[in-house]
Amino acid sequence: MRVVTIISLGASAALGLAALVVAKTVLPSAAAKDAPAAVQPVQGVPVVVAAKPLKFGDRLDASALTIVRLPPNAVPEGAFQAADAVLTADKGGPPVVLVPIAAKEPMLAAKLSGPGARPSVAAEIADGMRAYTIKVDDVTGVGGHALPGDRVDVMLMRDLTPNSETRNFVSEVVLQNVRVLAVDLNLNTAEAKPATPNTATLEVAVQDGQKLAVAGDMGKLSLALRRTGSVEVAQTGPVRVGGGYRPAATQQAVVRRAAPRPARPAGPALIQIVEGESRGGARPAPRPAPAAPAAPAPAPTAD
C-alpha cells in the first residue's frame, strides 16, 4: 500500500508541475492576443475648431472654441493653432462669423471678420473686385429668389421709341455669371427665405462697375438667376422688339423711293425738282425741258 500511495503522490505532483508550467507559458500569450491594443497618444498639430454650431453674425468667445490635433498634412490653410489667436483676430477683439460653421469644423481666417466689428460686405469682396449696387424690384430682382451667394446675369432693357405711335425696345446682356453679395441689407449666405428686394449688391470688376453705371442711366437693369454651379457664358446679341403700324400705301411709297432710278440720257445739265408722290401713288408728269436756243443765222457776204 505504501508503494502505491507513494507512486500516486509522485504522479500527482508531476501533473501539478506540468499544469503550472502550461499556465505560465501558454495562457499569458493567448490573453495578450485577446487584449485590446493600448491607446497611443495622438501626435499632430493643434488646430482650433468650433465647439458648437455657429451661425452667421455670431461673435466668438472662449466657450465656442476647442482644440483638436490633426496630422500635419490634414491641417487646412488659414487654420489657427491657439484660441487666443482667434479671439484677437478682429482689431485685437473677438471676430464675427461670416458663414455658418459646423461643430468640429476648423476656424479659418476666411470665415471670420477682419478689421471691423460686424459682418460687412467689405469682408466678402474677393481680391481685385468691387461691390456695386443696382436698383431692383420684385420683377427685375427675380422675385426675391436671388439670394447672397447666388450667381446672376445682368440685363439692360432700353426704350428707343421715337414717338408715341412707334414702339421700339432693345434688350441686351450687360454682364454674365456675377456673384450676389447682398440683397438690400442682408448678406447672410445661409438665408433661404425669398423677400421682395429693393437693391442688389453685386461683386464685379472695376470695368464691369463702369458698365453698370452707364447702363443704369440708359434704361432698366434686371437680374436673371443662374443654376447653381453654372459657369457657361452664352453667346448672344441685342434683341430688338417693336415697330409701329404704318399704312400699306405708305410702305409701298417708301419702297419705290428707295429703288434705283434708271440712268438718264446724256444731255445738257439741268436742275430738276421732283415732287412727292400723291396719295394714290401716281407720279405727276415731268416738266418738259426748255428748248435749246436756235443757232444765229450766218451774216450775209458782200458780192
For the chain, what are the domain ranges?
45-119, 128-230+238-242
Mean pLDDT of 264-283: 43
* Cα(185)–Cα(119) distance, integer angstroms: 11
Chosen CATH of 45-119 out of 3.40.50.2300, 2.30.40.10, 3.90.1210.10, 3.10.129.10: 3.90.1210.10
CB-CB contact of 47 with 19 (8 Å): no
Q: Is 224 helix (H, G, I), strand (E, B) or coil?
A: strand
Nearest-5° Cα angle at 178, 173 to 183: 110
pLDDT on residue 152: 93
Question: Poorest-confidence range of 59-68, 195-204, 264-273, 284-293?
Answer: 264-273
pLDDT on residue 42: 54
Confirm whether pTM is higher than 0.85.
Answer: no
Mean pLDDT of 57-63: 86
Q: Model confidence over 230-264: pLDDT tens digits?
A: 888 888 888 888 764 343 443 343 334 444 445 55
Mean pLDDT of 200-204: 92
The model's confidence at residue 175, banded by pLDDT at 50, 70 and 90, is: very high
Mean pLDDT of 39-58: 81
Output the nine-digit C-alpha cell for 184.
438690400
Mean pLDDT of 189-214: 83
CB-CB contact of 47 with 79 (8 Å): yes
Ramachandran angles phi, psi of 231, nearest 5°: -130, 0
Q: Model confidence over 93-147: pLDDT tens digits?
A: 788 888 889 999 999 888 887 654 445 677 678 888 999 999 988 888 888 888 8
